[in-house]
Amino acid sequence: MAGNSQRRNRRTSNKKGATVGSGGQRRRGLEGKGPTPPASARKGHVKNRLAQAKAKQAARRPAPRRGGPKGTNELVVGRNSVVEALREGVPATTLYVQQFVDSDERVREAIQLATGKGLNLMEAPRPELDRMTNGLNHQGLVLSVPPYDYAHPEDLTAHAADNGEDALIVALDGITDPRNLGAVVRSVSAFGGHGVVVPERRAAGMTASAWKTSAGTAARTPVARATNLTRTLEAYQKEGLMIVGLAADGDTELHELDVLDGPVVIVVGSEGKGLSRLVGETCDYRVRIPMPGGAESLNAGVAAGVVLYEASRRRA
């Protein structure tokens, strides 16, 4: 009897009753889960994978330049040019070396410099380098330089304001030689200026040649591109900057000018033609640099350096 009683009391089911304090989990489990999400939002669906791939591609794309659309990479060609560009810190990305090239000191130095800077090293057959350079005499070395990342003209005054300084800017009107641009960038950097403005068209840009002439100072001195130089100067005037144009027939001599210790834009024209008509009319002052030696004019780099030195002296 005792055994029968134990068998009757034995538990014959594994089912559990409702959990005390479950908060209605079972009831919520019976509720609907809302509308079915679109295919592009369902994990594992082909449309979801395509959407994720597109998002990753968009994230990998470089942001557009502030100063306008990007151009194409510039190629520096030839052993001497490549070595000089690497020495001066031109912001290159890839060094192409011809297969089975006859190595000399310049080739070895170029490879050493490129390796030290973390550039890509690519070995390519001569026909490929000939095609890349349109048949130029590359001597087995080609350096790829990406397009310069131009600032916006407003960035230059914002940079000065951030430093608590009166803006000192140089604008170039009709300067087409990149070496002159590089020389101006170097002078602006040397005398505490806040940047250089160049027109978007019919003007020198920040090429490898300009970088070399700047002696590396282009890495810390911004160059901005203006769609319309006259309108940019007018916008600077509204911000309170004085526009000083350099002209051989200017009404004021440099030592007579009393605005260089405040916010100012120095406008330099081409050596042959000087300031264009509209830019000249926009200037608050047209200033000439006295030249007792009798020279008719100075090139852009020298003229900008003279005025920048005077501005720096007065501000000090």
User: Can you give the pLDDT at residue 63?
Assistant: 35
**Sequence-separated (6 or more) residues with CB below 8 Å from residue 234:** 282
Mean per-residue pLDDT of the chain: 83
Residues paired with residue 288 on neighbouring β-strands, in sequence order: 253
User: Can you give the pLDDT at residue 21?
Assistant: 57
| Token pair 């520096």: residue | 76
The per-residue pLDDT for range 73-118, each reduced to its tens digit, is 899 999 998 998 899 888 899 999 999 988 899 999 999 999 999 9
User: Can you give the pLDDT at residue 67?
Assistant: 40
**Region of poorest pLDDT, from 33-42, 83-92, 101-110, 281-290:** 33-42
With cut-offs at 50, 70 and 90, classify the pLDDT of residue 188: very high
**Sequence-separated (6 or more) residues with CB below 8 Å from residue 35:** none
Among the listed residues 239, 274, 260, the one whose alpha carbon sits nearest the alpha carbon of residue 307: 260
- What whole-number distance in Å separates Cα of residue 183 and Cα of residue 300? 8
For residues 10-16, give the mean pLDDT: 53
User: Can you give the pLDDT at residue 68?
Assistant: 41
For residues 146-170, give the mean pLDDT: 93
Among the listed residues 276, 286, 288, the one whose alpha carbon sits nearest the alpha carbon of residue 245: 286
- What whole-number distance in Å separates Cα of residue 89 and Cα of residue 143? 12
User: Can you give the pLDDT at residue 303?
Assistant: 92
By the 8 A CB rule, do 94 and 70 touch?
no
- Strand, coil or helix: what is 196? strand
User: Can you give the pLDDT at residue 215?
Assistant: 83
Whether residue 60 has pLDDT greater than 50: no
- What whole-number distance in Å separates Cα of residue 265 and Cα of residue 244? 6
Residue 37 vs residue 164, higher pLDDT? 164
For residues 217-245, give the mean pLDDT: 94
With cut-offs at 50, 70 and 90, classify the pLDDT of residue 274: confident
User: Can you give the pLDDT at residue 28?
Assistant: 59
For residues 31-58, give the mean pLDDT: 62
For residues 248-276, give the mean pLDDT: 90
Whether residue 190 has pLDDT greater than 90: yes
- Strand, coil or helix: what is 175? coil
